[in-house]
Amino acid sequence: MQAAQDRFTRFAPLLAQLFPELAATQGRIESALLPVPAMQEALGQPLARGRLWVKADHSLPVAGSIKARGGFHEVLELTERLAVQHGPLLNGADYRSLASPAARAMLGRHQVAVGSTGNLGLAIGVLAAALGFRTVVHMSVDAKAWKKERLRSSGVEVVEHPGDYEQAVATGRQRAQADPLCHFVDDERSLSLFVGYSAAALHLREQLATQGVVVDAEHPLLVYLPCGVGGAPSGIAWGLYQLFGEHVHCFFAEPVQSPCFLAQMLAPAGSHPSVYDHGLSNRTEADGLAVPRASLLAAQAMRAVVAGIFTVQDRTLFEHLAMAHATEGLRLEPSAAAGFSGPLEIAMGAPALACPGANHVVWSTGGLLVPDAQFQRFLQRAK
């Protein structure tokens, strides 16, 4: 976790140079921790059950989602490895030397590929292409048209698959194996993605301290994380568990039709079920969460860590998306609204945790790049 954080710091000057929107933060990619009292009231959650916050990854710059954390980390780790192999290209501590024509030419001999429902593809695609890599994103049927268009306009090759997320990943992985100069970012198995997500915990700890939020037995920290294949929420939950131990309680939120992590945690040891086995459709407007089978790496890491999992109807996602916009001016995509059901689930299912000293952090995971017309359609749908 610390190594991932240090890597982000080393690359910050280069990132600030590649992406003008990062100039203000000197290349640091982070999100605010927002108090959301109006949303808390609209949700009908009294302060006697604790205070509500939003960890605003929906506004993460460049990639516009939580996937920037893990996705960027893996691309940066690969870049660093290749640069070290080609020694003279990396000019000591100044990583901006990786924007030189010679370094870009070296990186351009390599390909980065990924399979995605959309947001991981956006994160990997935008950064890898900006660094000079040849970049291919395999998109599942759920991926939204605007995400594909955005990638194509950044010079990324988008391969559209008629099947679901699992099939897009499997095809991408298989094609990548045929090319020794191709690095496949494996959303189902990657430790680099996992530790990239985990580094968020270090920053959240800083933000909580700045806001004067204490985490202990009387002040439990409850964190609600939207879950697709499980990598992002598990990486973050694992990181928070290293820092806060038994006083942090991480809950995952999944669509009713795509509860792959729940299915995995309930399954007997050694099995790897899919939501289709339970007669579910895996069809949901929460495109980022439309995953039929969980990551085993994530599930294994979460056995002793995740506090619980709840499912959310699509209509509730839209209701909360519109509520977050009306009360706090947040622009979320449907997947990113999944955590807002958390505090109510806790009040019903684990009332002892919903105490006056509790802090509830809803992780809002994407939305910044959603085009206006699309966002208006979300609000219309909510109505």
Ligand X SMILES: Cc1ncc(COP(=O)(O)O)c(C=O)c1O
Q: For ligand X, which is the closer residue by CB, 172 or 230?
A: 230
Shortest reach from residue 231's CB to ligand X, in Å: 4
Contact 253, 225 (CB under 8 A): yes
Q: For ligand X, which is the closer residue by CB, 189 or 247?
A: 189
List contacts with ligand X (CB under 6 A).
Answer: 65-67, 117, 119-120, 226-233, 288-289, 291, 333, 335-336, 365-366
Shortest reach from residue 280's CB to ligand X, in Å: 17
Q: For ligand X, which is the closer residue by CB, 221 or 232?
A: 232
Q: Which tokens is 271 given?
A: 């099995």
Shortest reach from residue 97's CB to ligand X, in Å: 32
Q: In angstroms, rounded to a whole number, what is the distance separating the alpha carbons of residues 229 and 242?
A: 22
Specify whether the backbone of 45 is left (phi greater than 0), alpha (psi in -120 to 50) or beta: beta
Residue type, 76: L
Q: For ligand X, which is the closer residue by CB, 211 or 281?
A: 281
Name the burial class of residue 312, with classes exposed (0-12), middle (13-18) and buried (19+) by CB atoms within 10 angstroms of its CB. buried
Q: For ligand X, which is the closer residue by CB, 90 or 291?
A: 291
Q: Is the dihedral of CA 350, 42, 219, 232 positive or negative?
A: positive
Q: For ligand X, which is the closer residue by CB, 34 or 286?
A: 286
Shortest reach from residue 126's CB to ligand X, in Å: 14
Shortest reach from residue 229's CB to ligand X, in Å: 4
Shortest reach from residue 233's CB to ligand X, in Å: 5
Shortest reach from residue 86's CB to ligand X, in Å: 31
Contact 299, 227 (CB under 8 A): no
Q: For ligand X, which is the closer residue by CB, 14 or 286?
A: 286
| Residue nearest ligand X (C-beta atom) | 288
